[in-house]
C-alpha cells in the first residue's frame, strides 16, 4: 500500500478555496466588501510570497464562522460548492484521485484551509481522509479560534504524523509516500515523503523541484 497525500488549493483545485470562500461571503453581503476584500487579497499575497502569519490569517478567516448558526453556514456552503468550487475541479484532478483510490492506497487531502470549508470538497473528490486546520467548536458552534496546530508549513508534517498515529500507522508502513502540491509553503511535507510531486508549481517550488529532480505535472 502507498500513502498518497494531496494539497487542495491550486493543486486538486484550479483556484484557492480559502480565498474564494471569503469572496463568496463578500458577494453574499455577509462581509463588508470595502473592509474584507482588500484584507483577503493582502493575506493571499502574503501566502504566495511565503510571509503569511497563519494565526493572523485564521483570526480573519474563522471570525465569520462564529457569527452565524451552523444551519446558515451550511446553506451558504452548498451555494459556495455549486457556484465557486465545482467549476474549479478538472476532469484530470478527478482522474488522479480516482486512480489512487482504485489502487487501494491510503489517501488524504492535506490542507491549510479549515475543515468547515474543505470537508465537503474532500467528499466531492471521494477522498475518505482530510487533514486540515481545525476551527474550534464549543457546544456545536464555532468560536472563531483555531483548535490545535494549524495545518500549515511544518504544521502539515505534524498533523499528518498525528493522523497516521491515530490510524496506528507510521511512514515506514508504506512502500511509497507521495505528496502533490503547488506551493513552496509545502516544502516541509514535500521533503518528508519519498516521492514529492509539484503540480503547477509556483516559482520558488518549481526552482526547488527542478534542482532536486522532483516530478512536475499539470492537472489541466
Catalytic residues: 7, 9
* Cβ(186)–Cβ(208) below 8 Å: no
C-alpha span between 177 and 154 (Å, rounded):
17
Q: What are the helix (H) ranges across 70-147?
A: 70-80, 91-102, 115-125
Cell digits for 213?
529532480
* Cβ(181)–Cβ(191) below 8 Å: no
CA distances from 158 to 75, 145, 146 (A): 32, 19, 16
Cell digits for 95?
482522474
C-alpha span between 160 and 131 (Å, rounded):
7
CA distances from 84 to 19, 23, 214 (A): 11, 10, 31
Amino acid at each position: 500500500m502507498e500513502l498518497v497525500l494531496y494539497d487542495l488549493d491550486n493543486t486538486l483545485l484550479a483556484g484557492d478555496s480559502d480565498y474564494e470562500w471569503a469572496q463568496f461571503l463578500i458577494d453574499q453581503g455577509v462581509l463588508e466588501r470595502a473592509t474584507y476584500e482588500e484584507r483577503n487579497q493582502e493575506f493571499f499575497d502574503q501566502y504566495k510570497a511565503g510571509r503569511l502569519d497563519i494565526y493572523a490569517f485564521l483570526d480573519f478567516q474563522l471570525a465569520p464562522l462564529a457569527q452565524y448558526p451552523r444551519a446558515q453556514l451550511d446553506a451558504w456552503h452548498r451555494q459556495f460548492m455549486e457556484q465557486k468550487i465545482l467549476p474549479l475541479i478538472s476532469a484530470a484532478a478527478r482522474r488522479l484521485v480516482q486512480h489512487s483510490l482504485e489502487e487501494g492506497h491510503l489517501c488524504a487531502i492535506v490542507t491549510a484551509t479549515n475543515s468547515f470549508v474543505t470537508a465537503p470538497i474532500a467528499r466531492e473528490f471521494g477522498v475518505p481522509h482530510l487533514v486540515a486546520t481545525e476551527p474550534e467548536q464549543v457546544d456545536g458552534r464555532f468560536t472563531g479560534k483555531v483548535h490545535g496546530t494549524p495545518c500549515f508549513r511544518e504544521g502539515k508534517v505534524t498533523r499528518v504524523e498525528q493522523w497516521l498515529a491515530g490510524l496506528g500507522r507510521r511512514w515506514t508502513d508504506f512502500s511509497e509516500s507521495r505528496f502533490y502540491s503547488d506551493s513552496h509553503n509545502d516544502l516541509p511535507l514535500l521533503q518528508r515523503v519519498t516521492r514529492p510531486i509539484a503540480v503547477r508549481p509556483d516559482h520558488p517550488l518549481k526552482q526547488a523541484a527542478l534542482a532536486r529532480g522532483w516530478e512536475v505535472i499539470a492537472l489541466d
